Amino acid sequence: MENRRETDRPDQERNIFRIFYVLKRALDDWGDHQLKLMGNPRFHITYMPFFMNIGLSGISNNELATLMGVTKQGASRIVKELIASGYVRSEKNDADARSYMLYLTIEGERFYNNINQIINLLEQDYTNDIGARNYNNTINGLLKLIAFHEDKVKK
C-alpha cells in the first residue's frame, strides 16, 4: 500500500514522531467532526480517552490517572470538565477515602454507546483498508511499545 502523505525526504517517511503526530492529528480531526455530527461541539476530543476509560463500570480517580499516565491533578482537571458536561458523576470512594469513584450518568452512558458505535465503524474502515491482520498487528505492536516505555519509566 502506498503512503498517502509521501514527502520528498525518504528518511522522514518512516519517522516515528511524524507518524504519531500525523495520526494523532487525523484522529483528533475525525473525532471533532464526529462530535459535531452528533450535535455535541462542547465535548472536547482531548477528553475522549478519559471519558472512554471511565466506561460503563466506573473507575476511581486515582486509577484513571494511573491508566492515562498523568498526574492526579491533571486527571482532576479533565474530570471536572467531564462532570460539568453532564456525562460523568463522582461519588465518595468507600474503599479509599483519599479517592472518589467516577461513573457515567444516564446521558453519559448514551453518549458512550454512541461513541462506541462510531469507533466500531472507524475500525471497520481501517480493517477494510489495511486488512484485519494488519490492523490487529498494528494495535498489538502499539500496545507492546506502550508497555516497553512504561517498563522503562519503572526502572
CATH architecture of 10-154: Orthogonal Bundle (1.10)
Domain ranges of the chain: 10-154
Q: Is the pLDDT of residue 2 over 70?
A: no
**Contact (CB, 8 A) for 93 and 60:** yes
pLDDT per position as a tens digit, 126-149: 999 999 999 999 999 999 999 999
39 three-state secondary structure: coil
Residues 128 and 126: their CA atoms lie apart, in Å, by 5
Average pLDDT, the chain: 91
Cell of 112: 458512550
For range 105-128, the mean pLDDT:
97
Report field, pTM of the whole predicted structure over 0.85 = no
pLDDT per position as a tens digit, 16-38: 999 999 999 999 999 999 999 99
